[in-house]
Structure 1
């Protein structure tokens, strides 16, 4: 497989796709609100648009995942979602008024996030078949986010906020150009099962760092007659682990929405704030490279637990200080909040969920972490920000800590004999 030119080309394309896809988020997440402001929207309306933008994926992501699990047509679905996203970004400059901009944003967030579980599903299948590591591909995404954020900030500062749209359109076009080069290992039951055999695994047999599946454990038998998402939500250990990882990820809500306002009001310059973001991204990228060894040694569920603990410490610390040196040290813990947590839940899904349900399991994680829980996180953080800003970080610490009992319960259920 290593000598297969098509396999190598697919692996390179997948790494590049992660870079471009997360690069697009690197320009849209931090700078799209700035573009809204340039169109005359007030901060309150921008806050409404940003908060509600996390909701559409709750409906669209599981539907797309279901179609992918049932048909295996990941490439067609990715291309369709990207093409629709491109049309919507092109429509943005022609829209005037808060209502139209809100409508376009909701539609965009119904189609663009649906790509994520499809590419993650393709990555873990390709990783088994071709020897590539999902964590390395995901690290490329983090690098893309950082690079495009820096480039976007420079272009917007030098020229104007319209570069948010220009960069977004160019990156989507580049993503579309990569789709036809992506590996064909995403079809359930095809390339992935070959990869399992090539790596010495058999379906249902966990790898190192995971205990063998027992009756009532986290291993899913997979019943083709049932809906894939129903299979996922009916498996309690899996559901609890997905819920725990989603809480850790969603605890970023206050950081994404109000931290810059809080830190600026506390006297930090934009240069220092940028440095703090860079520290977090660097630690995240580095951790992705060592995550497989850690996972193989301790298991996914325990890395989710460690990520929850470290993330709670991170937010509690950031609520107590605005000293740049102390904040930089706390930002290093982003390696757990994002890299460790994300790598762990994908590892868990890879080893405990049958091929026909994997996309749905990843989609459930995406819609909880970036939809339901993230929306609640931002709303709660915003409500607290007006009265006492540091309380936003304190609440996020509590959000991450709530993941701890879920992991412990999941492990108890996974090891419980079926009586």
Structure 2
């Protein structure tokens, strides 16, 4: 495993911690915040639904802008700063339609931050060791997952003795700090001065002509998408089966801890030893096992045994995808590649989340068998994920 250059590693960890902590302090509490602003359930649903549409559009647009300007760090800083300013304005807005416009603008500014950060971190992590910048991407991404959890726990304590508007202030302050932290990021190694492809359609076409990239998107869409029913209905199923709230909290904590451990400790070694194809196959197989157990049992012991598989079904697959993107995606399309990686699986997950309600209503826990089937479809596709 490569030894990191401390300054480069610290600067990226700082960026990711601030960025994902800003998500952690706000994301779980936004619906309740909207409710305190006097919004009806229908208005909250409209706000969240339109937010998803805006995210799907804004991510690729901002990524193409960053690639064409070859100013990923500057676009990231501007997007985070704009999102922070809009977040500061949310507590002061009264009318629903004005609030809707400001919130959607904030979503649009916030969406590309993670893809741009990943493009920058991936570029730095694959730099030659002689440049003094080389490090494992997983270490940075693992710190982000931990920061999200810590941010959520901290926000839960803060809103216990203050108004819910405090989440907007914390969210904005962390985003503003993240924007400032981009100044500490090391300069990239070999970088193109200008993107050679000016057409967005042709740029996307250039990426989609890469067989490995297409296969990677499909594998990620199948495996990540298979989490849709779990995220939407696992707690409902466990509650119905008599699992206590304390046990449910422990089960969710297991998944998060496993995710961090895979990102930071074992994941990079497994991707090195198995290769991206082997790591992706392990993640797909783990997803099959996980959803089969969840479909067949609500016993807390059985669930406790499979919840840590989240470290494989998400973190290990993400590391494998990042390794493939670092090896196959041209530097001048780095941000666009990250945006497509977020868009494709994200769109599939959204569609599966919408359909999971109908599946769960008709099939109950047996609906998880379909999620296992989706993960099984990804297994043969993993064989083609050969790193150039």
Return closer, same or farther for 1:392/1:145 CA change in 2, 3 Å cut-off.
farther
Please tell me whether residue 356 in structure 1 is matched to residue 332 in structure 2.
Answer: yes
Return closer, same or farther for 1:149/1:291 CA change in 2, 3 Å cut-off.
same
The question of whether the paired residues in 1 share the 8 Å contact of 2:215 and 2:385 is answered with no
Q: Corresponding residue for 1:182?
A: 185
The question of whether the paired residues in 2 share the 8 Å contact of 1:69 and 1:188 is answered with no
Q: Corresponding residue for 1:211?
A: none
Q: Corresponding residue for 1:328?
A: 304
Return closer, same or farther for 1:125/1:274 CA change in 2, 3 Å cut-off.
same
- Pairs within 5 Å for 1:214-253: 227-253=202-228
The question of whether the paired residues in 2 share the 8 Å contact of 1:117 and 1:366 is answered with yes
Return closer, same or farther for 1:265/1:98 CA change in 2, 3 Å cut-off.
farther
- Pairs within 5 Å for 1:130-209: 130-185=133-188, 188-189=191-192
The question of whether the paired residues in 1 share the 8 Å contact of 2:59 and 2:343 is answered with yes
Per-residue deviation, 1:49: 3.8
Unaligned residue ranges in structure 2 (runs of 5+): 128-132
Per-residue deviation, 1:411: 4.8
RMSD: 3.0
- Pairs within 5 Å for 1:26-175: 26-43=24-41, 45-96=43-94, 99-129=97-127, 130-175=133-178
Normalising by structure 2, what TM-score?
A: 0.86
Aligned equivalents of 1:293 and 1:177: distance in 2? 32
The question of whether the paired residues in 2 share the 8 Å contact of 1:11 and 1:126 is answered with no
Say which SS state the counterpart of residue 303 (structure 1) adopts: helix
Normalising by structure 1, what TM-score?
A: 0.80
- Pairs within 5 Å for 1:329-348: 329-348=305-324
Aligned equivalents of 2:124 and 2:332: distance in 1? 15
Unaligned residue ranges in structure 1 (runs of 5+): 191-221
The question of whether the paired residues in 1 share the 8 Å contact of 2:70 and 2:192 is answered with no
Aligned equivalents of 1:40 and 1:258: distance in 2? 27
Per-residue deviation, 1:135: 0.7
Per-residue deviation, 1:15: 0.6
The question of whether the paired residues in 1 share the 8 Å contact of 2:3 and 2:135 is answered with no
Q: Which of 233, 238, 250 is the matching residue for 1:275?
A: 250
Say which SS state the counterpart of residue 55 (structure 1) adopts: helix
Aligned equivalents of 2:238 and 2:98: distance in 1? 31
Return closer, same or farther for 1:311/1:25 CA change in 2, 3 Å cut-off.
farther
The question of whether the paired residues in 1 share the 8 Å contact of 2:222 and 2:345 is answered with yes
Q: Corresponding residue for 1:407?
A: 382
Per-residue deviation, 1:399: 3.6
Say which SS state the counterpart of residue 332 (structure 1) adopts: helix
